[in-house]
Amino acid sequence: MSEKKRLLIIGSRRYKKKTVKSLIAEGEKLFDSVLFVPVHKIRIVEEKGENKLFYKDIDLLKFDACYPRTGAKDFFLAEAVLKIIDDSEMYSPVTLESYQYSNHKYYTVKKLAEAGIPTLDASLSVSAEASSSVIKKFGFPVVLKLISGFAGKGVMLVKDKKQLASILDTLHLFEEYVSAQKYAAAGNTDIRCYVLGEEVIAAKRTGAKGDWRANMSRGGSVKPIKATPRMKKLAVEAARALKFDICAVDMIETRKANGKKRVAVIEVNFQPGPFQKFLGNKITKAMVEFIHEKVAGKSEKNQ
């Protein structure tokens, strides 16, 4: 019988209670104890040149494993916390480097492309002039993404020059960084591959009627599917390129001019929702089991 351990779950300021409850429930089946702490309630303390993390009087670095699920709005605090976790003996499926890359939509695509993973052409710009120049090259329609956007927010499909001018004027006013991405017709569906080490659990997402995005927070649906060998390979390679043990890799299937199918990675999600409405506790269970196997295996090696 494997030795039980202690699990720490770090959440965002605006965490989803249903997801957290499911992670805790699954964690309590395998770990001696499970503690959930929102990231903004963590204290960073320096003692004798060593950084430590505390929640009330609890030394968080004494836990065996940590699953950070912080949001984009927690970025600067989460960076500091993840740096300390990286330097500790505690296991985490998310690293500081993976968190930094996945929080920046353009650099996510750039890192994936450098690893030879098929993606959609993308650019990064802050001025209206630069964005217009890039979009002229991509052609219409084109997808614009706010660098700070998440959960389908800040993602816009621009159909023509008139619409583009209005959007860029607004973005320039708020000095938002924008990533432009070449549009690939795939209907309002995409494939989400949950990566847990070498294991991949796939689901097909379909957007709400009238919405071009396959986004569940806006009324879409999800159904489990069997990932193809190609999807599995790309999902695991994408996770490795960004140094994740656990993440979700979103991809789309399109057709080339010759009619053959093409799979391209469009995004990597650092705190993927488990879609409990459609998949139950399948994903949270797999996440917790993977983390437990990692720390149990580490203990066996140290014996």
Among 132, 150, 182, identify where a domain stops.
Answer: 182
Query: Residue 184 carries which DSSP code?
Result: -
Distance CA 158, CA 54 (A): 46
72 and 142 assigned to the same domain? no
Residue 67's CATH number:
3.40.50.20
Residue 19 belongs to a domain: yes
Whole-angstrom Cα distance, residue 26 to residue 23? 5
Which tens digits make up the pLDDT trace of 23-42? 999 999 999 999 999 999 99
Last residue within a domain, chosen from 182, 207, 227 = 182
pLDDT at 207: 79
pLDDT at 45: 94
- pLDDT greater at residue 207 or residue 168: 207
Residue carrying structure tokens 């002039």: 129
Which of 13-17, 153-157, 288-292 shows the lowest per-residue confidence on average (mean pLDDT)?
Answer: 153-157
For 162, half-sphere exposure in the C-beta direction (CA atoms, 13 angstrom radius) is 0
- Could you tell me what percent of the chain has a pLDDT over 90? 53
Has residue 225 been placed in a domain?
Answer: no
Contact present, 179 and 119 (Cβ < 8 Å):
no
Indicate whether 54 and 131 sit together in one domain.
Answer: no
CATH of the domain at 153: 3.30.1490.20
Task: Go through 33-42 and write b for each residue having 16 or more CB atoms within 10 A of its CB, e for each that does not.
Answer: ebbbbbbeeb
34 lies in which domain range? 6-93
* 82 in a structural domain: yes
pLDDT per residue over 67-107, tens digit each?
Answer: 999 987 898 999 999 999 999 999 999 999 999 988 877 78
Residue 279 within a domain: no
Tokens coding 204: 């097909």
- Residue 89 shares a structural domain with residue 128: no
Classify residue 161: in a domain, yes or no: yes
As given in the structure block, the two tokens for residue 37 are 């702490």
Q: Is 292 helix (H, G, I), strand (E, B) or coil?
A: helix
Count structural domains, the chain: 2
pLDDT band at 282 (very low <50, low <70, confident <90, very high): very high
Residue 150 lies in a domain: yes
Clarify whether residues 73 and 139 are in a common domain: no
| Contact (CB, 8 A) for 103 and 75 | yes
